[in-house]
Amino acid sequence: MMIADLEIGKSLPEIRLAPVSRIDLIKYAGASGDYNPIHTIDEEAKKSGLPGVIAHGMWTMGNLSKLFTPLYEQGFIEDYQIRFKDMVFLNDILTLKAVLSDRDNHRYFFKTAALNQNGKEVIKGDIIFLQYA
Amino acid sequence: MLKEYIGLKSEKVLNRVEGREVKKFVEAIGDPHPLFHDEKTGEESIYQANIAPPTFPAVFDYGEIDGLRLPDTGLIHGEQSFHYNRPLVVGDEILCYTEVEDYYERKGASGLMGFLILRRFGEDSIGQTVFSSKAIVIITETVREEMIVR
> Following DSSP, what letter does each residue of B10-31 receive, concatenated?
PPPEEEE--HHHHHHHHHHTT-
Q: How far apart are CA B48 and CA B95, in angstroms?
A: 22
Confidence check: pLDDT of A102 > 60: yes
Give which of B36, B43, B48, B82 to mutate to test A binding, by max A Cβ within 10 Å. Answer: B82
Angle between helices A57-64 and A22-32 (to 10 degrees): 90
Exposure string of B23-52, with b = 16+ CB inside 10 Å and e = fewer, is bbbbebbbbebebbbeeeebeebebebbbb
Sorting pLDDT into bands at 50, 70 and 90, what band is B110?
confident
B76 located within any domain: yes
Q: Average pLDDT of B109-117? A: 89
Residues A99-117 have a mean pLDDT of: 98
In this prediction, residue B148 carries a pLDDT of: 66
Query: Residue B145, class by beta-carbon neighbours within 10 Å (0-12 exposed, 13-18 middle, 19+ buried)?
Result: exposed
Give the pLDDT confidence score for residue A108 in this predicted structure: 98
Q: Which residue of A has its CA nearest to B49?
A: A73
Does the residue B24 lie in any domain? no
- A22-31, A112-121, B94-103, B135-144: segment of lowest average pLDDT: B135-144
Say if B142 is an interface residue toward chain A (CB within 8 Å): no
Please report whether residue B33 resides in a domain. no
ipTM over 0.90: yes
pLDDT digits (tens, 9 = 90+) for A109-126: 999 999 999 999 999 999
Longest alpha-carbon distance in chain A = 52
Distance from the B104 Cα atom to the nearest Cα atom in chain A, whole angstroms:
18
Asked if the C-beta of A90 comes within 8 angstroms of chain B's C-beta atoms, the answer is no
Partner residue opposite A61 with nearest CB, options B24, B80, B84: B80
Q: Which secondary-structure segment (H or E) carries A23?
A: helix A22-32
Q: Would the CB atoms of B82 and A79 count as touching at under 8 Å?
A: yes
From residue A63, alpha-carbon distances to A10, B74, B91, B118 in Å are: 20, 24, 23, 23
pLDDT band at B144 (very low <50, low <70, confident <90, very high): confident
Of A27, A31, A76, the CB nearest to B86: A76
pLDDT digits (tens, 9 = 90+) for B5-30: 999 999 999 999 999 999 999 999 99
Domain that holds residue B93: 3-17+61-149
A28-86 pLDDT tens trace: 999 999 999 999 999 999 998 899 999 999 999 999 999 999 999 999 999 999 999 99
Alpha carbon of B136: minimum distance to chain A alpha carbons (Å): 9
Give the gap in angstroms from C-alpha B106 to the nearest C-alpha of chain A. 18
Nearest to B134 by CA among B68, B84, B75, B74: B84
Mean pLDDT of B121-134: 97
Average pLDDT, chain B: 94
The answer, for A11 touching chain B at a CB cutoff of 8 Å, is no
The size of the A-B interface in CB pairs under 8 A is: 107
CB-based contact, A65 to chain B, within 8 Å? yes
Interface test with B, best of A61, A71, A93 (most B CBs within 10 A): A61
Whether B123 maps to a domain, the answer reads yes
The identity of residue B128, as a single letter, is: Q
**Domains identified in chain A and CATH numbers:** 16-131 (3.10.129.10)
What pLDDT does residue B98 have? 97
Q: Indicate which CATH number applies to the domain containing B72.
A: 3.10.129.10
Mutate to test the interface with A, among B29, B45, B131, B133 (most CBs of A within 10 A): B29
Identify whether B97 is part of a domain.
Answer: yes
In a domain, residue B37? The reply is no
What pLDDT does residue B149 have? 58
B124 vs A24: CA distance, rounded Å:
32
Chain B: give the shortest CA distance to residue A104, in Å.
Answer: 17
Number of domains within chain B: 1
Residue B138 lies in a domain: yes
The confidence score (pLDDT) of residue B146 equals: 77
Residue B48 located in a structural domain? no
Q: Is the pLDDT of residue B59 over 70?
A: yes
The burial class, CB within 10 Å (0-12 / 13-18 / 19+), for A126 is middle
Q: What is the mean pLDDT of residues B56-66?
A: 96
Rounded to whole angstroms, the Cα distance separating A101 from B135 reads 24
Nearest CA in chain A to B46: A73
